[in-house]
Each structure stands twice: as structure tokens, then as C-alpha cells.
Structure 1
Amino acid sequence: MRKNRLKLGLFIPPFHPLYENPTLCIERDLQITQFADEIGMSEIWFGEHHSGGYEIIMSPELMVAAAAERTKSIKLGTGVITLPYHNPLMTANRLCQLDHQTRGRLLFGGGPGLLTADAHMLGLDARESRDKLDEGISVISRLLAGEWVTEKTSWYDLNDAHCHLLPYNGPGSLPIGVASAFSPSGGTLAAKYDTAMLCLAATSPDGYDALAGNWKIACDTAEKYGRTMNPAVLRCATDMHIAETRDEAMDQARKGFEVTQRYFANQTAHVANEGMDVTLEDLIERGEAVVGTPDDAVAQIRRLEEKVPDFGTLLLLDKNWATFENKKRSLEMMMRYVLPEINGDNVSRQKSFDWQGEHAEEYFKTFQQAAQRAFEKHAAQTEADK
């Protein structure tokens, strides 16, 4: 049994084809968020990107605000705000307002920025982004905790900066997460600032190999600060689409995969020059993706548990491989079949079922005797009333 229950979340960058209506694509992202809330998923994250044509959420804060009006309990995350692109005081102020609008359901995720093209348009050196992420997380966490900050760096100059509206549940209450992929920087920063880790490449070949190592770096670094990392704060992101059979799942996902792959092939760093030669079967064979049945999803989660036992949340990367209805069915099956298996939700029910079955003959005889006794009592009473 797990020490903590695995939760299920959704990570929406998003990935929308160039031939679809962008307005309706964004609407669909909000609709899937509403559905995720209805079936009891734990959290959903919206990305920030500014180039490339597919990832057309430019402001995760706007998506969170809209989603808050359509949902009741699901937590809503910025996944992630690219901190080097924004003044940290302005970011902290937007977060505080959003935390109130969501009634404390906001999750703040920060990152250095994945798309070099975005940094290029802003005249920024992407090679400096991780250092800026460190600075940004530092000052924003202090502002959210209610501190006043006077600080000058190469990219911001703050004088008596403070949030005049603090988070919904009080200073320092807003959960923070740091993006982590291959390099050790994410784990180091998570430990340094006592935040969650968003492992956004957990099952890619390099990301899977680095997962345990980066977690160890986080744990070792936290120890230096006198803290202990809780695996419950670790989010592992992966590609999964499931159906009743593997063949059905493959048929549902293949076209969408090929469309999305065109976007990755347009960014050589994402596919290591493999381009459109990569097939869905390739991803499945090397363990990068699951396109199959609930049992396949369970097996993939067990693989991740080998790297970090008791990691807290499985984040499904929403790449729009399947139609809207098939995607909803896949999410429902994850909640209905996969999570209960991982969390042992039905262990007690199974024990009770087995125990009842072991005594079935005995109990049935008792039932028959009780029924016979009732008939005899009724007959005796009828005779006495004559």
C-alpha cells in the first residue's frame, strides 16, 4: 500500500492543430477542465507559450480565471508561468488575486521557459533563464509570504515591493511548484524554496533516467536546509490514452499523434532530429507513452514508482491525440479503474467479498433455516387463531 494516495491531474500546454478554429480549441480546453472537475480529478495546469502556432495559451492566469467560474473543487495551476518574461511583483499580484477568485484553489507553477523562440522575440538570452527562475522564485515566494522586498537584478528593480492583497488562506499559503525535466536545476530549486516539483518529461527516455537522480538531488539539497522532501509534492507527467482494448486506443490516438508530431518535428530540440520518423509504436515500445488499456496505465505508474515510490500526482499531458469524447472516456477510465488499483481502494471490499464467499454455504443454510422458522411460526399462529 502507498504511504500517500496517488492523485490524477491534467497538464494542458495546449497542443492545437493549425487547421482547427483556435477559439473553439480554447473553449474545448475549458470544457475538459469542467469534465475533469465533475469526475473528481485533483488538478489541472495551463501552460504559457508565445510562438510555434500550436500552444496557444499565452496566459495561464486567464485560463485559471475562466476555469474557476466553471468548476467547484479541482485545483487550478499555472503550468507554468515563464518567470523571466514577467516582473516578479506583477506576477505575485496576479497570483494573489487569482487565489481569491478561485477561493484558494490556485497552484502556482513557475519555469524558465521551454521555447527558445519566445525568449528570442523578447530579446532575452535563453541560456540565462534558469538563473532568472531561481531569482524569480525567490522574490515571488517572499512577496507571497507578505514580505517587503527591495532588490535589484539584471532584469528587475524593486523598491519597497509588496503585495497589498495576500493569498486567500494567508501569507505563504499559496502552493508553489517548479518545472523539472532533465537538468538538476528543478530539483535543486524545489529543495531550496520548499516547493513542489513538476517533472514534465517523466517518461521520456532521458527524463525517466533522470527522475530518480533529480529526486535524490532534491532530497539531498533539502537536507542541507534542514528540511525533508515529501514525495507527495512530486508530479510526474506522461502521455496516456486508454480504451477498452489496445486496438481501440491505437485507432483513437494515431491521427492526433501524427498531427502533434508535426509540431515537435518543427522544433528539432524536442525530437532529437528524429522528426516524423517517430511512430506511436516507437513511443510505446520505449515506455514514453501508454496507448492501451487500464492495465497498461497501471504498469506505467508502477514503472514510475520504481524511480520515486509514493510520488504524489500523475499528470496526463493533454496532446489532443483523441477526439473530445474519446479523451473524456479515457479520463473517466483512469479515475474509474486505474487510480483505485494503484491506491488499493477496493482491497477491503475484495476481502469482504472473499470472506462472504468462503462462508456462503454456511450463511445460506442459516438463511434457509430462518425462512423455514418463519413459515413454521406463521403456520402455528394461524392454527392458534382458529
Structure 2
Amino acid sequence: MTDRMRFGVFHAPYHLPMGQNPTLALQRDIEFVQMLDRLGFDEAWIGEHHSCGCELIADNLLFIANALPQTKHIKLGTGVLSLPYHNPLWVADRIILLDHLSKGRAMLGLGPGALTTDAYMIGIDPLEQRNALEEGTDVLKRLLVGETVSIKTDRYTLVEARTQLRPYSDFEVAVAAVASPTGPRIAGKYGDGILSIGATMSAMAPDGVDTLALHWDVMEEVAAKHGQVADRSKWRLVGPMHIAETREQAREDVKHGIDAWFDYFQDVQSAVHFEVAGKSTEERTDFVINSGLGVIGTPDDAIEQISKLAAQSRGGFGAYLVMTHEWADVRTTEKSYELMAERVFPAFQDSVGSLQASAQWAATERSRLGGDQMKSVLNAMEKHKQEMAAAAAAGTAS
């Protein structure tokens, strides 16, 4: 396990059920990131989507630029920027600019694009998206290190292209991995991080594929081939959670919106790699819990889930990211994240171990030191008594 597990969110966002005021929903997204910053979350990854009606952030770099001055510490990343949709020269220019504006708090997450409807609208064959991601990342990485690039592809032409501004920091780059080996291949080639969006999907994977093993094994193999080191601290696992003081309360909380979330994945979004099952609220809640997809329960259930993933990863990972949702109402959702910061973080960050050790040591020494303290009090009282008696005697003698 890494020394200190980081915590964050993977925020599409899913504003469900449909029909919400989009302006207010986007404002809630900013306020949500502010809350995470206040609670001590380490990072937030923001999605890019252009269709399907509920994932409203079309430009995650623009959203991050807006959120940065309204937060203090949290790092903000594109989760993900769909590289096949963009010219890599402009992506390089924009992330370098954001790196300067953020003084190193920006991160770049890359992916092929999750919504086939997005790709369809700009004429990209979904069968080509992963090849386009590999090709585009090669060009982008060359531009980020200052190379001059000339290339002609089916999507763009670059002629002696270069970035005029150098990066402010050695900002993190991570690549999305769901079901295919494409993300780990790219990350391994460049020594970058992985965003395992399919981290909790092993139970739903075809032919019993161990998704985490696939991600890491490919990453290590390709990294070794290219002289890179596969760094577990750069590995981020993603999964949904909602926690409350009791399991019964958590189940009651998610009645607010879990059906709309399931309806979206079952009837609207064409992401067939993310299959969910169930028709009634109870069936759907049970599916999340029993399949291992996520947690609807208590802080202890969240700790158990993350611990299982750590064991399954065969060596640990660097960060757990909550896949955000609106299963519960706004206030109850905020309480879930507060419980996570208060009760789940310490189990993986050793932030209270020294406090517990101090309390235990004090308890073992309480009797002895308390007795000594009482003796000290009695001695002080006796000394005072003797001094007063001596002073009285001296006064009588005079």
C-alpha cells in the first residue's frame, strides 16, 4: 500500500433526474468542489460531455479555470478530456496555460470519449476512438516536452507545430481505463497514471475478467518495454459510494435519485461497458451493494470496500475517487462526504494513529501518574501548612 492514500472524486457530473435548472446545477458543481476543498479532499476530476442531457460540462478546462480561484488547496483535473475530439496542439497550449494560472494545481486526464453520441456528432467512428487516443497522445506528449511536430492524420494536420509557452510545473497526466487495455498501454509507455474507472466492475466484466489485474499487468508490461516505471502512487481507482450513520439510513437516502441514475445507464447512455441491472429501487440498491459496484452503507462499509480493492490490486494504489452521483438530495450527499472525510480518510492515512497511541499510553500511566500527582498536591498542602504554622510561631515570639 502507498504511504498515504489520497481521496478525491470523479465528477461527470450526473445531474439526474432530468429537468433540473442547468444554471443552478452548474453552480452546485462549483459549490461541491469548494466543499471538497474545505473537507480536505485531495483532488477532483471533471468530465467532458456533449450529449445525453445530464452531463452538462462541455469544457472541463474552462470549468477548472473557473473553480481554481474559488478553492485553496484541492488539485483539479480533466476527468477526462476526450482527446480524439480535439487538436492536440490546442490541448497542449491550454493545459500549459492552466498549469501557469493554477500554479501547478491542474492535472490532465485523457480518454477516448465515453459517449458514442458525442463522437457521432463530429463524424468520428467509435471503432476508431481508442486508436485515435493512442495516436493523439503520442503527438500531445511530444508537444508538451517542446518538440516541433509535423503530421497529417484523418482528423488534423500540424505543420511545424510547437507550444510557445513552457509548462509551469511537472503536472500529472493520467489516462482513463475502463474495460480495454488502451489506457494502461498509453500510461505505461509514458510513465503516467491510470484512472481505473472500471475499478469496481470486475463482477460485471465478461468471462470473469479481473479488471484491476488487467489494468496493472498491462501497465507494468508496457512500462518495462519503454524504460518507464509503473508507479502505484499514480494509480487511481474509481467507484460510487453513498454513506450514512446506518445501512438502513443509506438505503433510505438513495431512494431520492438512484432510479433516475439507473434509468440513464439502462435507457439513454450508450456505454455498454457499464451495464447495471435491476428494475425496482430495491433491486437496484441491492445490485450496487451485492455486485461490488459501490457502497450504499456506513463508513465501515466504505473502509471494507476500499480495503478489498487494495487487496485485489496486489500491492495497493495511490488514490480512491468517488464516482459522484445524485442518488441522495444535496444536503444528504454533503453529509456523506463529511462522513467520508471524518471517518474513512483516517483509516488509510494514519492521521489518528498517533492520537490513539497517545491516549493508550496515557491510560496505562494514569494510575501511577495520578497517584504521583495526588502526592504532589498533598505535599504542597503540607508544606503550606508548615509554613503558615512557622509564620504564626514567629509572630507570637515577637
Q: Same fold (TM over 0.5)?
A: yes
Deviations 1:188-245 (CA, angstroms, capped at 9, x unpaired): 1110011110011211224682112220111121111222211110010001111111
Match for residue 386 of structure 2? Answer: 380
Is the aligned partner of 1:122 residue 2:122? yes
- Are the counterparts in 2 of residues 264 and 275 from structure 1 also a CA contact under 8 Å? no
Q: Map of 1:1-386 to 2, 5 A cutoff?
A: 2-17=1-16, 18-169=18-169, 173-204=170-201, 205-206=203-204, 209-266=210-267, 267=269, 269=272, 272=275, 274=277, 276=279, 279-308=284-313, 309-386=315-392
Classify 1:273/1:382 alpha carbon distance in 2 versus 1 (closer, same or farther; 3 Å).
closer
Give the Cα–Cα distance (whole angstroms) in 2 for the partners of residues 35 and 326 of structure 1.
Answer: 13
Classify 1:66/1:273 alpha carbon distance in 2 versus 1 (closer, same or farther; 3 Å).
closer
- Are the counterparts in 2 of residues 16 and 320 from structure 1 also a CA contact under 8 Å? yes
- Are the counterparts in 2 of residues 265 and 271 from structure 1 also a CA contact under 8 Å? no
Across the aligned residues of Structure 1 and Structure 2, the Cα RMSD in angstroms comes to 1.6
Give how far 1:97 is off: 1.3
Classify 1:247/1:275 alpha carbon distance in 2 versus 1 (closer, same or farther; 3 Å).
closer
Classify 1:383/1:246 alpha carbon distance in 2 versus 1 (closer, same or farther; 3 Å).
same
Amino acid at match of 1:295: D
- Are the counterparts in 2 of residues 239 and 288 from structure 1 also a CA contact under 8 Å? yes
- 2:210 aligned counterpart, secondary structure: helix
- Are the counterparts in 1 of residues 37 and 71 from structure 2 also a CA contact under 8 Å? yes
Deviations 1:308-365 (CA, angstroms, capped at 9, x unpaired): 2320111001111122221111111111111101222222222222222222211111
- Are the counterparts in 1 of residues 190 and 228 from structure 2 also a CA contact under 8 Å? no
- 1:359 aligned counterpart, secondary structure: helix
Amino acid at match of 2:232: P
% identity of equivalent residues: 38
Give the Cα–Cα distance (whole angstroms) in 2 for the partners of residues 294 and 244 of structure 1.
Answer: 7
- 2:36 aligned counterpart, secondary structure: helix
Give the Cα–Cα distance (whole angstroms) in 2 for the partners of residues 247 and 376 of structure 1.
Answer: 60
Give the Cα–Cα distance (whole angstroms) in 1 for the partners of residues 72 and 377 of structure 2.
Answer: 49
- Are the counterparts in 1 of residues 30 and 67 from structure 2 also a CA contact under 8 Å? yes
- Are the counterparts in 1 of residues 139 and 149 from structure 2 also a CA contact under 8 Å? yes
Amino acid at match of 1:364: G
Task: Give ranges in structure 2 of 5+ residues lacking alignment.
Answer: 393-398
Segment of structure 1 superposing worse, 214-223 or 234-243:
214-223
Give the Cα–Cα distance (whole angstroms) in 1 for the partners of residues 220 and 93 of structure 2.
Answer: 31
Give how far 1:123 is off: 1.0
Give the Cα–Cα distance (whole angstroms) in 1 for the partners of residues 152 and 140 of structure 2.
Answer: 14
Give how far 1:380 is off: 1.8
Amino acid at match of 1:156: Y
- Are the counterparts in 2 of residues 236 and 314 from structure 1 also a CA contact under 8 Å? yes
Segment of structure 1 superposing worse, 204-213 or 330-339:
204-213
Amino acid at match of 2:38: E
- Alignment length, in residue pairs? 382
Give the Cα–Cα distance (whole angstroms) in 2 for the partners of residues 206 and 188 of structure 1.
Answer: 22
- Are the counterparts in 1 of residues 15 and 326 from structure 2 also a CA contact under 8 Å? yes
Amino acid at match of 1:228: V
- Are the counterparts in 2 of residues 104 and 168 from structure 1 also a CA contact under 8 Å? yes
Give the Cα–Cα distance (whole angstroms) in 2 for the partners of residues 49 and 275 of structure 1.
Answer: 26
Give the Cα–Cα distance (whole angstroms) in 2 for the partners of residues 107 and 70 of structure 1.
Answer: 17
Classify 1:330/1:274 alpha carbon distance in 2 versus 1 (closer, same or farther; 3 Å).
closer
Give how far 1:272 is off: 4.1
- 2:80 aligned counterpart, secondary structure: strand
Match for residue 396 of structure 2? Answer: none
- Are the counterparts in 2 of residues 265 and 276 from structure 1 also a CA contact under 8 Å? no
